[in-house]
Structure 1
Amino acid sequence: MAITAGRPAPRGQGKLAALAAFGTRPGGRRHPLVAAAMVLPLAIVLGFVSGWAQMVITQASSVAGMLGS
């Protein structure tokens, strides 16, 4: 007779899987601060590449100039 039951999944996680699971809650959701820490570096890099960071710096310096700083 053929064995129809599947094999259990290995218990050990690779380093990448363990890093991806960092900050996850038992329900499978990440803590909001962990999610923000993962997204913000990429958002900053994309901001510099697309040029919006320069616009934000220009606006901030204009506001600082109007406030007399």
Structure 2
Amino acid sequence: MADSAGRAADRSQEHRLAGVFGDRPSGTRHPLVAAAMVLPLATLLAVVFGGWDAVVTQASSVAGMLGH
């Protein structure tokens, strides 16, 4: 019983800290944060597997869609 009360207190503290640091309570990330997390790995994979032209083409397509 004491263990579950401790976990509830930990969750409560996590929610307070999430509010302080601006995290979203639903667990979603801001799109720029998600991009910052994914782009280094995507770049590495594109270079290693030789798909750099495809990455550039897709990036320009996305940039064109965002521009409209």
TM-score by length of structure 1 reads 0.48
Structure ranking higher in helix proportion? 2
